[in-house]
């Protein structure tokens, strides 16, 4: 039996993608403000990216996967968070198709939702816009 391909780590792909987007970095002030996890030394404004869920586009052979990802866009105030979310969504929609790095290739991007959701995990709550995107990825050919 031959196993299917191992799918790329979509979070690592998107962190690399956003760190290379000048419009996003200009709003953040530093490319390291894009992360898969927030750390104590995270500089704000910031974007946190994580995979919500994923599924194969075609089960056999499993060579393309659609991941639903969430971008938590943090700003110093509500307007900054909203602007960062809008620019991040537009950058991925316009420049994400066929983006490639060591993890794999983005083959399709579909915007889902964007909403104002202050992060109650901080005291006081931190201004945050949440962007959800569907991102189809594939590994590099063997």
Task: Give pLDDT, residue 1.
Answer: 40
| Residue 14 to residues 63, 68, 89, 124, Cα–Cα distance (Å) | 19, 12, 12, 29
Each residue's pLDDT tens digit, 3-60: 557 889 999 999 999 999 999 999 999 999 999 998 888 888 999 999 999 888 876 6
Each residue's pLDDT tens digit, 66-111: 999 999 999 989 999 999 999 999 999 999 998 999 989 999 999 9
Distance, in Å, from the CA atom of 53 to the CA atom of 69, rounded to the nearest integer, reads 7
| Domain layout of the chain by residue ranges | 10-138
Task: Give pLDDT, residue 6.
Answer: 82
What pTM did the predictor assign? 0.91
Contact 77, 68 (CB under 8 A): no
Class at the top of the CATH hierarchy for domain 10-138: alpha beta
Task: Give pLDDT, residue 40.
Answer: 83
């Amino acid at each position: 039996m031959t196993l299917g391909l191992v799918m790329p780590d979509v979070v690592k792909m998107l962190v690399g993608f956003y760190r290379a987007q000048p419009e996003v970095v200009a709003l953040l002030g530093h490319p390291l403000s894009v992360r898969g996890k927030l750390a104590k030394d995270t500089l704000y404004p910031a974007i946190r990216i994580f995979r919500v869920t994923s599924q194969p586009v075609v089960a056999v052979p499993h060579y393309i996967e659609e991941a639903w990802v969430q971008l938590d866009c943090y700003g110093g105030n509500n307007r900054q968070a909203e602007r960062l979310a809008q620019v991040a969504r537009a950058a991925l929609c316009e420049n994400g198709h066929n983006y490639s790095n060591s993890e794999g290739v983005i083959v399709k991007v579909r915007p889902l939702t964007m909403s104002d959701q202050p992060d109650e995990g901080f005291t006081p709550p931190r201004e945050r816009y949440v962007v959800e995107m569907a991102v189809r990825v594939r590994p590099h050919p063997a």
